[in-house]
Amino acid sequence: MLRTLLVASIRTRGILRAWLPSNILLDLIRTRNGLKWGVPAMLIAGIYFAIANWCTITIANGGPGFLHLVFLVCVWSALKFLIMGPVSVVLLCAARTRESNEKTRQRETA
């Protein structure tokens, strides 16, 4: 039973990692050229929270039960975007510092 749950969770993660739009966008933001878009991408979290709010209202008014899953996915994606903003700023500063140090070393050796 435990093995079945483990395999199911691994496969679910693989599917969501490859096909969920938020994961695809976050992968693009984590690249060196995409780090500058981390803070503006935090605005997407508002869209996800709005969808989650709509799901809760619909569920409260007798909507279908699968909206609970949509709610969880939207809140999780929104939290990922909220966290990615500050993380991208830190990663961008580290990348720029590293690039500056490399340029300085190249000038010293030349």
Supply the pLDDT for residue 20. Answer: 83
CA angle in degrees (0–180, nearest 5) for 7-12-13: 100
> What letter represents residue 76's amino acid?
W
**pTM, 2 dp:** 0.80
pLDDT cut 70: percent of the chain above it = 100
Instruction: Name the residue ranges covered by the structural domains of the chain.
Output: 2-109
How would you classify residue 62: left for phi > 0, otherwise alpha for psi between -120 and 50, otherwise beta? left
Q: What is the CA radius of gyration of the chain?
A: 20
**CA atoms of 19 and 12, how far apart (whole Å):** 11
The first and second tokens of residue 48, run together, are 């996800």
pLDDT in tens, 50-85: 999 999 999 999 999 999 999 999 999 999 999 999
